[in-house]
Amino acid sequence: MEGSQDVAVTAEANEDQTYWDRFYEQAHPDLLEPSSFARLCVSLLSRDESVFEVGCGNGRDALYMARSGLRVLASDPSPVALAEVRSRMQREPFDHRLRLVARRMENLDDRHAGALGAVYMRFVLHAVTAEVASVGLSWASRNLRPGGRLFVEARSVLGSRYGEGQPAGRDAFFQDDHYRRFIRADELRDEIVGIGFRVNELVEAGGLAVRDRDDPVLVRVFATRAHARHS
Ligand SMILES: C[S@@+](CC[C@H](N)C(=O)[O-])C[C@H]1O[C@@H](n2cnc3c(N)ncnc32)[C@H](O)[C@@H]1O
């Protein structure tokens, strides 16, 4: 039955925790520097702005944002990834304003309702199911202040790796031992607009995050929380 298969795919996708724990148990010297997306987003924000990163991994971007003078909350469900961030905070002391949140995006609460200056989601929307991504984006809409910024970077369906591996639902595949769901730029834009954002810029291109032989086509969305609240 299609319905029950969807449930199974969702459960498996959300059990990728073990994969991410193992991934961050390994050293990834090539993933220590901030991403080009983080550098760009920081240049668009004022110092002291509060930023919530969803799915921060080893903290490469969260640490950079904190070092750049932003007040950062960085969340991830992987205790191994968060331990790596903590250890980097100790190894590379700086006057940081970085707090860690051990949560999946679907379990974030609304304690920052209407207060955050920016929400940053890099390479995390393609790591979760469409349902979970929608929960995370709605959370961002509720917790950003009017005029607050949403920054998303994720793999596009136009990337050459689309279709590799074992099918795992619409636009999704188990590849490299984990779940990847490729993003349709128009659908992401429509969803974001539908929950109360103005899209300032949408980029869909390769050459933005080349790693080894992987040059994914990415969707980048720069959006602003509209002033009028959607009901
Ligand atoms: C590809 S890594 C990206 C990490 C980091 N943002 C970066 O750009 O290097 C995906 C991250 O998403 C996290 N993740 C997986 N499922 C998640 C969920 N449901 N909510 C929040 N983060 C999740 C993983 O633990 C992992 O750290």
Range 106-128 burial, b when 16+ CB lie within 10 A, else e: bebeeebeeebbbbbbbbbbbbb
Which among 230, 220, 222 is positioned nearest to 196, based on CA atoms? 230
The string of pLDDT tens digits covering residues 5-31 is 333 344 455 568 899 999 999 999 999
The string of pLDDT tens digits covering residues 193-207 is 999 999 999 999 999
The string of pLDDT tens digits covering residues 73-85 is 999 999 999 999 9
High-pLDDT (> 70) share of the chain, %: 91
User: In testing the pocket of ligand 1, which one of 65, 76, 105, 178 has its CB within 8 Å of the most ligand atoms?
Assistant: 76
In angstroms, the CA 67 to CA 164 distance is: 38
Cα angle 14-149-60, degrees, rounded to a multiple of 5: 55
For ligand 1, the distance from its centroid to the CA atom of residue 127, given in whole angstroms, is 7
- Terminal CA-CA length for the chain: 34
Taking the CA of residue 121 as reference, the ligand 1 atom at the shortest distance is: 6
In angstroms, the CA 114 to CA 101 distance is: 18
Mean pLDDT, range 185-197, rounded to an integer:
98
With 70 as the cut, is the pLDDT of residue 32 above it?
A: yes
Predicted local distance difference test score (pLDDT) of residue 93: 74
Predicted local distance difference test score (pLDDT) of residue 54: 98
Residue 195 near residue 187 (C-beta atoms within 8 A): no
Give residues (CB < 6 A) around ligand 1: 16, 20, 31, 35, 54-57, 60-61, 76-78, 81, 104-106, 122-124, 127-128, 132
Residue 123: both structure tokens together: 């390479």
Angle between helices 36-43 and 60-67 (to 10 degrees): 30
The string of pLDDT tens digits covering residues 118-148 is 999 999 999 999 999 999 999 999 999 999 9
The string of pLDDT tens digits covering residues 159-168 is 999 999 999 9
User: pLDDT confidence of 2, banded at 50, 70, 90?
Assistant: very low
CATH of the domain spanning 2-225, picked from 3.40.50.150, 3.20.20.70, 3.40.50.920, 3.40.50.720:
3.40.50.150
Mean pLDDT, range 39-56, rounded to an integer:
97
Predicted local distance difference test score (pLDDT) of residue 1: 29
Domain range annotation of the chain:
2-225
With 80 as the cut, is the pLDDT of residue 35 above it?
A: yes
Predicted local distance difference test score (pLDDT) of residue 208: 94
For ligand 1, the distance from its centroid to the CA atom of residue 76, given in whole angstroms, is 6
Residue nearest (by alpha carbon) to ligand 1 atom 4: 57
